[in-house]
Amino acid sequence: MPDTKKFIENLSGAGKCIGVLTSGGDAQGMNAAVRAVVRMGIYVGAKVYFIHEGYQGMVDGGDNIKEASWESVSSMLQVGGTVIGSARCKDFRTHEGRLRAALNLVQRGITNLCVIGGDGSLTGANLFREEWSGLLDELVQSGEISEEASQIHSALHIVGMVGSIDNDFCGTDMTIGTDSALHRIIEVVDAIMTTAQSHQRTFVLEVMGRHCGYLALVSALACGADWVLIPEMPPKDGWEEQMCYKLSESRLRGSRLNIIIVAEGATDRHGNPISSNAVKELVVRCLGFDTRVTILGHVQRGGTPSAFDRILASRMGVEAVLALLEASPGTPACVVSLCGNQAVRVPLMECVQMTQEVQKAMDEKRFEEAVRLRGRSFENNLNTYKLLSHRKIDSELPHSSFNVAVLNVGAPAAGMNAAVRSAVRVGITEGHTMFAVSDGFEGFYKGQIKEIKWGDVGGWTGQGGSLLGTKRTLPAKHIDKIAEQMRIHNINALLVIGGFEAFESLLQLVDARSRYEEFCVPMCMLPATISNNVSGTDLSIGADTSLNAIVETCDRIKQSASGTKRRVFIIETMGGYCGYLATVGGLAAGADAAYIYEEPFDIRELQSNVEHLTEKMKTSIQRGLVLRNENCSENYTTDFIYQLYNEEGKGVFDCRKNVLGHMQQGGAPSPFDRNFGTKIAAKAMQWISKKLKEFYREGRVFANTEDSACLLGMRRRALVFQPVIQLKDETDFVHRIPKEQWWLRLRPLMKILAKYKTSYDVSDSGQLEHIVRLRAKDISAI
């Protein structure tokens, strides 16, 4: 079979000019996208131009269109908003305006445009592309450009990236800025919860999102809100009584607060707007609760981009340049986007049409259709929210007579509590009796097992660490006592939430099945570890929170050097032998190098890194950042690297070192981890229910097949249940890491953005996919 691999070295941008602009409403992460486009463009030999103030700058020309240099995008990764400015432009909507814009581009030789904005900005870009040859003909006729110039610049290539906090664009799971906006909302909700609890108050929060309820829905999921109102699924008539009943019922169960989240575009079934003030008046009138309204407004657009948005924007920016290099005159304008965990390219107009169809469905009151068109991710969020928020009366619940135990194993990871809450509530809804095991398998063999009820997990989503308690103890040593506890409590299924120890534990329990019938029950493991080192999943609960802690600290450390002489920081991250945090944290923080165990390095590489930094310090860039995974090398310790850099950089830069330590494990879980934990735990409980029915024979559960002990992980685009026995071969047990890790493909990206010549395999880069095909494949993407 011929080698079909494609490498970046074979793609050249020589002689090409790329214009990059941000348009429409600003979003956190736009700067990271601009930086990636500029650096990747320069890396492949193209010229890159900033087009300031969006389309207005393109129409006005002059100083608004400036050539970008490598240094001009330094230090913008951590800045919110857009450094090159954005404006809503009326002129570009006129034919005259677009003619002026075409002239300004041709004069500078720009025939490749990278547009970062919402659906309006991208639709405008596509119209511009369709009119391009006509506009050039007009310019030739008026004598403003020559026939030759018209020939040379005959095709305009356009690639879009969606920068919008609303996440209202079909064809992509996450738009740039959405995750950061969720961070702002959740920070506010967490703060409000403490004051609401003190005074037993009800809070009505209004969030942005125009006609899209994504921000409202996901923040409601992430904070366990009592009620949410979104435009895609207006409440049924009589919702007022239902909502008030729900609020008073939660107070009767001992809750001291209520949170109601209202999307700014929320309406009832008849299209009448529902305002946050109307909801407040309703609660006060019906229940007499002390109620306050908080309208979050533009806070949601502001602040520093989250780690997720920086990585998303950097990956998309590089992908956009690749798409422009590969474009031919017949290639339709495309959008680079994310599907699950994979970069894809989708035709721009198909996305725009689908986005418009959602609005049409909402206008025509086809609400189920609107939710479906928003995409699988939106639909999953809504279904999970419905599952978790409405507690059925005991008489309505199916009674299964099954007992399911939940436990945490290994080191704590932010998001574990959200997963436990979700599992407990979904389990109760499915009719099971749920048991909580304290302190992992250590608590299991000691009999620290008690029933856990719906109200016991209230307010757990926003709590960091592990409220159940977690230990690294493996079951093998105490297997007979654990079997005895399984028998005493009649446990029919196990849900284990944890890291590598949880994976090893499940393997030990499966191994013990031949000796103890008690372990012949359905078992499921959810990966929860900051190290992200478990086979069978691209992402683990807790890794996103940890990345944000690393990136935030790196930002502060870099800032501490501003105004001082040239300085390089050596920062040590956790992760065991897994280099995920160092690599992805390095990409998000703009590191110059990241040393990891998976990619062996020697003294020559360390030397070349020092030389590279010395060269960098001769420019206007005064700071360097080097990340080192804690176990990357036995001999090249953090101290060794620090002393080497200090010695070799004498006279050019000085060095400082930081060991980040356990701050990477603590803190409130990020919106992504809350959401991820909540969704996968709900899915796992539904799987357990299905398996319990499947393996129930003659009055008891008996499961000893491979597929009755699974790990639920995210693989590329889908959530998949994989038998732990099959994952054994994919694992390096000595170093506690998977043998193959997807994020290693991001390493060349980090090196390119730090100006290293490197080999980058782009065979995996997005092929143009049609949105319908993409939707069908997008099985349960997060």
Q: Which token pair is 583?
A: 């690599």
Q: Please, what is the Cα angle at 465 between 559 and 253, to 5 degrees?
A: 125
Dist. CA 242–CA 240, nearest whole Å? 5
State whether residue 734 is helix, strand or coil: coil
DSSP string, 650-702: TTT-EEEEEE-GGGGT-SPPPHHHHHHHHHHHHHHHHHHHHHHHHTEETTEE-
Helix-then-strand count for the chain, H and E? 25, 27
- Please give the biggest Cα pair distance in the chain: 91
The burial of 244, by beta-carbon neighbours within 10 Å (0-12 exposed, 13-18 middle, 19 or more buried), is given as middle
Confirm whether 363 is a catalytic residue: no
Rounded CA Rg of the chain:
27
DSSP letter assigned to residue 201: -
| H or E stretch covering 117 | strand 112-117
Place of tokens 């926003």: 462
State whether residue 51 is helix, strand or coil: strand
Nearest to 506 by CA among 736, 718, 715, 708: 708
| H or E stretch covering 507 | helix 500-511
Task: Give the β-pairing of 700-701 and 709-715.
Answer: unpaired
Nearest to 16 by CA among 42, 52, 39, 35: 42
Q: Which of 26, 60, 119, 166 is catalytic?
A: 166
What is the helix, strand, coil percentage profile of the chain, to 5?
A: 45, 20, 35
Phi, psi for residue 343 in degrees, rounded to 5: -75, 135
Q: Please, what is the Cα angle at 492 between 488 and 498, to 5 degrees?
A: 100
Query: Could you tell me the strand order of the sheet in which 202-207 lies?
Result: 227-229, 258-263, 202-207, 291-295
Where residue 207 falls (left for φ over 0; alpha for ψ -120 to 50; beta otherwise) is beta
Q: Please, what is the Cα angle at 336 between 718 and 545, to 5 degrees?
A: 55
DSSP letter assigned to residue 431: T
Residues near 706 by beta carbon (within 8 Å), at least 6 away in sequence: 723, 725, 726
Place of tokens 């809504």: 382
Dist. CA 724–CA 707, nearest whole Å? 8
> According to the 3-state scheme, what is the secondary structure of 343-372?
EEEEEHHHHHHHHHHHHHHHHCCCHHHHHH
At 475, which amino acid appears? P
8 Å CB contact between 764 and 344: no
Task: List active site positions.
Answer: 166
